[in-house]
Chains A and B, each alone.
Chain A
Amino acid sequence: MQNPYVPYPVRIDDIAIATEDKSLKTFKFVFLNAGDEEKFSYNAGQFAELSVAGIGEIPIGIASSPVEKGFVKFTVFKAGVVTSHLHNMKVGDIMGLRGPLGNWYPWDLLEGKNILIVGGGFAFTTLRSSIVYMLNPENRPKFGNIDVVYGARTPGMLLYKDELIQWEKRDDINMHLTIDAPAEGWEYNVGFTPPVTEQKAPQGDDDTYAIVCGPPVMIKFTLPVLEKLGYAHDHIIMSLENRMKCGFGMCGRCGIGKELVCKDGPVFTLDQINQTPREY
C-alpha cells in the first residue's frame, strides 16, 4: 500500500531569485532515489506538497513542465512559516516532495482548440508549465492559436522573463506582456491585465478556451472581460487555492461545498465554480 503521507526525498539542486524584490525564488529539485522521478510523473496544472522535516508542508503548483526531464521546479513566494524557511535553505539541502497532487488543465479536451492564457503576478507557475508543454515540438501541432496575456507590476516582477522574451520572438505563440506603469526600456504593453486582455485577446467561441490564473483582484476584473469577449463559463478554466494539509482529499479543510480543491481541483471551469458556495 502506497503511503500518501510520505514524501519522496529530494535535494535542492539550484535556487534562483525570480523577481526583483527577491520575494520569489525558483527551486530546482532532483530526486535522491532512482525511480522516484518516474513515480512523480505529472501533468501541467498539478501541484505538490513541498515538505520540510521539522517545519511542515506547503502546497505549491509545479512550475516545471512534464516535457522537462531530470528535475522539478517550483517558484515559491515567501509568505508563511514553511515558505520563509524554504527561502533560507541552501543548494544541497535535503527535503521532501509529495505528489503530484490534484487534477490538471484538461489537455485532452483542449486538443485542437485555441488557447488563451491570462496570468497575473506570481500566479504564472503552472501557466509556465502549460506553455512549455504546448510549445514542445511534439505537442505544438495539437493546439490551435495560443495567446498569452501576462501582467505584473513592473518588468522585474515578471516571472521567467528570459523565457517570456524568447516566446515573444516566436511566431507560434502570441505574447501580450504588460506592466502596470511605463518603465524605461519596456517595449510591450502598459496597463492592468484585464484591459489588455480586452484589447488583445481573441474572441471566445466553441473552439477557444481561456485559462485564467492570478490574484483575486485580477480574476474579478478579467472574468467580465472574458464574458464580453464571448467566452462561455464552461470555456473559462481556473485554478483555485485553499489552505491544505494532506493534499489528497482526506483532511477536509479545502472544501468548497462537496468539491475539495486538492483532489477534485485545483482546476475547475467557471461553470463548475458557479455551482459551489465559492468558499475559497
Chain B
Amino acid sequence: MKLVSIDKKQWENGLDSLRASYRLLGPSKEKDYYSFKHLQEGEQPDFSFLNTRLSPKSLLFPQSEAIIEYSLDSHEEDHHVMKAIEADASPRAVLGIRPCDAKAVTLVNLNFDTDAYKDPYWVKTLAATTFIGLACDEPKSTCFCTSVGCGPYHEEGLDLLLVDNGETYLAKILTEKGEKFFKTASWDTHDGDTTLFDSKKEAAEAKIVSTVTTNNLKSQDILDLHGAPFWEEVSFACLNCGTCTYTCPTCWCFDLQDEVHGNSGKRFKNWDSCMFPLFTLHTTGHNPRDTKLQRVRQRFMHKLKYFVDKYDQGIMCVGCGRCVNQCPVNIDIRRVCALMNDYKADELACVVQK
C-alpha cells in the first residue's frame, strides 16, 4: 500500500490519459440530486456531493438488465432457443465512490458470487471495474457507517482511496487494480503525508456521531425476533413504496421478466422489492407475506438477523443513511436495529409460565 499526493491541477490530465483504457464513471448532478453516470469526453466527476440519491450498485447490478435473447420467428433456425446476452466486461473505473457504497459491493457479492452458482453479469462486471473511492470528511447527520464495520475512510471493496486535501488529493493505492489505474493516469506525484492521512481519518470518524448497536443480534433467537410485538408499531406507517430497497446499496433482490417486440424477445433481470405483495404471491392466491407487517419485518429481519446468521459478516447495512433520509414516513433502521438488538423475549413471557 502506497500513499501519494496528486496535485489537483494535474487531475484532469490524468483522467484524459485514463480514458483510452477505461470507461470512466462518476458522480454528476442532475437537477437537485447526484447520480453515477458515464462521463463523456472532457466531462469531469463532480466531487461536491455527499451521497448520491441512489447507490451506485446499479453500475454492477442495473435496475433493468437484458440477460437473455431469443427469436420467436419459426422460420429462423434456433427459434425459441434462449441465448445469453454476454455481460459487457470492458474495463471501467468508478471515480469517487463513497467507502460505504464500496463496502456494500462486497456484501452484495456474497449473494451473486457463490461456490455453487455465479451470476455472470455481476461477476464479470465486478472483475472489470476499478473502484476509486472518495473519503468522506463532511458526513451527513444520518451517516452511521462507523458502527456497522465501515467508516468514512474504509478501504474494503476499494482499489484506491482519494482524500481531498485542498490543493491536492492524497491517494492511497490499495490493490493491483488500483496500481494499474494509477500508473495509467501517469500523474506526477509526491509521497503522501501518512500522518496527515491518519489525522484526517481520525477527524472524519469523530464526525460520525450517529450509531447503531448490533452486538446482541447474532445471539437473538430468530423466532423470538420474528414474533416480537414491536413489528406492529414499526410497520404501522409504512406505505410499502419500496424506496428503502431501491435506494439501499445492499438490497439485491430481483425479478425475471420476458419482454417481446414483434418476433424477438428478451429476458430481463429487474430490481424487485420485498415491500411489494407480488414479490411472494403464489399462483393459488396464497401469499406467505400477505400483510405489510410481514413485509416490513422481512426487510429488517433479512438485513439485521438472517444475513447476520447466514454469513457471519455483520449486518447487511453499511450505514449510508439513504433509507433514513428518503423514507416518506420516517421509518428509521437505526431505531429498528435498537429494538431488535435490545429485545428480551423473556421479559414479556408470562410470569406463571416460568
Contact = CB atoms under 8 A, between A and B. Distances in A.
18 contacts: A1-B120, A1-B123, A4-B118, A4-B119, A5-B119, A6-B83, A53-B70, A53-B80, A53-B265, A54-B265, A80-B283, A96-B81, A252-B272, A253-B279, A255-B298, A276-B222, A277-B223, A279-B298
Interface of B: 67-68, 70, 72, 79-84, 111-112, 114, 116-120, 123-124, 222-223, 226, 252-258, 260, 265, 267, 269, 272, 274, 279-284, 288-289, 294, 298, 301-302, 305-307, 309-310
B258 A5 contact: no
B111 A250 contact: yes
A2 B265 CA distance: 22
Contacts of B112: 250
Interface string A243-256: 10110111111111
B117 A248 contact: yes
Contacts, number: 127
A57 B279 CA distance: 15
Contacts of A9: 80-82
B282 A243 contact: yes
Contacts of A83: 283
Nearest to A11: B80
Interface in A25-54: 32, 51, 53-54
Interface string A239-280: 001110110111111111110000100000000000111011
Nearest to B255: A245
Given A1-B120, A6-B83, A252-B274, A54 B283 contact: no
Contact of B84 (A3, A51, A255, A258): A3
A249 B116 contact: yes
A277 B118 contact: no
A277 B306 CA distance: 11
Contacts of B72: 53-54
A6 B256 contact: no
B226 A258 contact: no
